[in-house]
Chains A and B, each alone.
Chain A
Amino acid sequence: MNAASAEQKLKEILARVIGEGGKGRVNPSQLDVQADFATLGVNSVDLMEFVLRAENEFGIDILSEMLPDELPTSLNGWARLISARLDRPAQSEG
């Protein structure tokens, strides 16, 4: 999966988390991929849920390998991280 399709999935996950978190319905396409999560009103619980849903969606483990302070804080940062993680097994097999 490339960064662009990972980014689209992540937008959908984040929009759901923000919307269910009580901050109003969010259109995934309107999320700014550069924006820092703090400016989107994403709190620590929302961030945790976002990561857990991303882990489930992409079948990877992030929280066990990264400290909370090391996690990306924007969608495009997450897209890069996810696509790098998804590429990792292929690289090791090659």
Chain B
Amino acid sequence: MSLAPKKTLENKPNLAPAPLLDLFENYRGSFQDLDRGLKLDGAQMRAARDGLVAGFARQKNPLRSGDRVLLAVGNGPGFLVAFVAVLSAGGAPVLLHVETPPAELDRLARSYDARFALCDAWSENDLAPFAESVVPLNFAPGASLNFAALKGGAATDKRSLPPIAGMPLHPTSGTTGIPKLAARHGIAAIAEAAHYQEAMGIGPDDDILCVVPMSHAYGFGTSAMMPLVSGASVVSNRRFQPHAVFQAFRDLNITTFPAVPAMLHLLLVASRGPIARLPRRVLSAGAPLAEHTAREFFEKNRQTAWSLYGSTETGGICVDVDAPTDGAPGSVGPKMRLVSVEIRPIPDSSEWKPGIGHVAVKSPSMMAGYLTPTGIDASSIRNGWFQTGDLGFVDAAGRVNLVGRESEVVNVFGMKVIPSEVESVVRDFPGVTDVKVYAGQHRSGSQIVKAAVAPEALDVAALREHCAANLVAYKRPEVIIPLAALPRTPTGKIIKDQLP
């Protein structure tokens, strides 16, 4: 059994986390967790960070430089503190949704060769089947995270991925639909936040309400990094709940609200008139903002929602601060100042109108590359340019317009779901002989996960339970269609047009 060559970034200062840690060291704002009633200012978060780092070192299996840590922590000061603590200890945090089930954490630990998990949604008993040890680490009065040494990450003697010190890692679908880890170093994260700050005019007097997951690239950029760069403060909920959002607007002088289209749709359902004390910046990202939602939002509030467009790999690309009031479908506004966008021709583009092509981006907020068994692979970035996988065009006014996507990735309210990952879980269910996971449409402009499975006489309720135990909620198929056989060509390829 050969070991992958040890590669760390200690000799590559431009990829080291020091600039990001310096920002945290000087942060003067605050993070407030509305669910837990916990508010920490900069000094308190630094003390909390120190407590976690000391806790990592105290363990029988201490965190070592280069170790990956699955970070499944909910919105709030705990997220930022845990993230910075792992980086400070030389670890590489892998940012995961807070509700990622323990069985999925175990599977990801094996895939990502991660020795540890740091979570706040699961008890010691929940994690015990998958962990050698679970230790609660207090980071503030009455607030703790469970630090688990995972069997999955420790069990393998084949080190599939090399150690990597101080590097934030974001799971992504890439442009191909194959799960990858994007290595987004501190300078890239800071650049993205600085672009947002400049485009939106964010400063220390701003208060951001974060209800999108901070673990997701959008929430991370707008609600974890942008505050560090701008000095803005954050209040957060773990889950979106319209009445709680309205209350936060009324009571907390919120100036900035990053949302996804489905949230804006639900706020409109919940509000009978104009939304009281609506923040002056309401963002919509993750999926196209449906024209009817944009129009209704403006008609009720006399204010536009700003589309924000970005990708995990490139960071933020556009923020539509001059959004039209009638909601031009697919338009995400002009690129931000230091970002470059190019539209590249599609070979065999007969199905698209002239002018539509691959959206390519060059930006100081670009990732370093994907983490692979041989180190960071930057081959997808050519001369600084990255092809996002989106298809679109730039109109005469310089606005970027998106018309589709080239991969099969399912966009569930801004969270990207990789069909092959879900298919693998479904195939593990006893009796399943065939499966195809694909996208269905939701009225909000988002997509839903559908699964066609064979055979027809399958216990769908039990399959749902299996998915619930092994997949975080947004990855679970909402529509499961049992079929006698899946439509396939003679060569075995799925005939997509014939899927129900």
Contacts and interface: CB of A to CB of B under 8 A. Distances in A.
B94 interface: no
Nearest to A22: B441
A68 B266 CA distance: 15
A38 interface: yes
Interface stretch (A4-12, A43-51, A75-83, A86-94): A43-51
B266 A45 contact: yes
B240, B241, B269, B440 interface centre (most CB from chain A within 10 Å): B269
Interface string B32-73: 000000000000000000000000000000000000000000
Interface string B208-250: 0000000000000000000000000000000111111000000
Contacts of B443: 20-22
Interface residues of A, number: 22
A68 B35 CA distance: 13
Given A21-B448, A39-B461, A63-B243, A49 B441 contact: no
Interface in B230-288: 239-244, 262, 265-266, 269-270, 272
Nearest to A23: B479
Nearest to B480: A41
A48 B243 contact: no
B241 A39 contact: no
B269 A53 contact: yes
Given A22-B442, A22-B448, A39 B460 contact: yes
B211 to A, nearest CB: 12
Interface string A40-80: 01111100110011011000010110001000000000000
A44 B473 contact: yes
Nearest to B467: A38
A62 to B, nearest CB: 9
B116 interface: no
Contacts of A52: 242, 266, 269-270
A20 B293 CA distance: 13
Tell me what chain A mostly uses at the interface: helix, strand, loop, or mixed: helix
A41 B272 contact: no
A21 B266 CA distance: 12
Given A41-B479, A63-B241, A63-B243, A22 B440 contact: yes
Given A22-B443, A22-B448, A48 B242 contact: yes
B269 A49 contact: yes
A64 B448 contact: no
A48 B448 contact: no
A45 B413 contact: yes
Query: Which of the four size classes fits the interface of chain B?
Result: 20 to 34
A48 B267 CA distance: 10
Contacts of B262: 45
Given A21-B448, A63-B242, A64-B243, A48 B266 contact: yes
A39 B448 contact: no
A55 B242 CA distance: 12
Contact of A43 (B265, B448, B461): B448
**Most chain B beta-carbon contacts within 10 A, residue among A36, A52, A55:** A52
Contacts of A45: 262, 265-266, 413, 442, 444, 446
Interface in B431-473: 440-444, 446, 448, 460-461, 464, 473
A43 B468 CA distance: 13
A48 B461 CA distance: 22
B464 A39 contact: yes
B314 to A, nearest CB: 27
Most buried by A among B243, B270, B478: B478
Contacts of B446: 45
Contacts of B444: 45
A68 B443 CA distance: 22
Nearest to B268: A52
Nearest to B444: A45
A14 to B, nearest CB: 14
Contacts of B242: 48, 52, 63
A52 B413 CA distance: 18
B462 to A, nearest CB: 11
Nearest to B269: A52
A43 to B, nearest CB: 5
Contacts of B473: 44
A20 B269 CA distance: 13
Contacts of A55: 270
Contacts of B441: 22
Nearest to A68: B239
A40 to B, nearest CB: 9
A51 B370 CA distance: 41
7 contacts: A23-B440, A38-B464, A43-B448, A44-B473, A45-B413, A63-B243, A64-B244
**Shortest beta-carbon contacts, A-B, top 10:** A22-B441, A41-B479, A52-B269, A45-B262, A52-B270, A20-B443, A41-B478, A22-B442, A43-B478, A64-B243
Given A45-B444, A64-B244, 12 more contacts: A21-B448, A41-B448, A41-B478, A43-B442, A45-B265, A45-B446, A52-B269, A53-B269, A56-B269, A56-B270, A64-B243, A68-B239
Interface of A: 20-23, 36, 38-39, 41-45, 48-49, 52-53, 55-56, 61, 63-64, 68
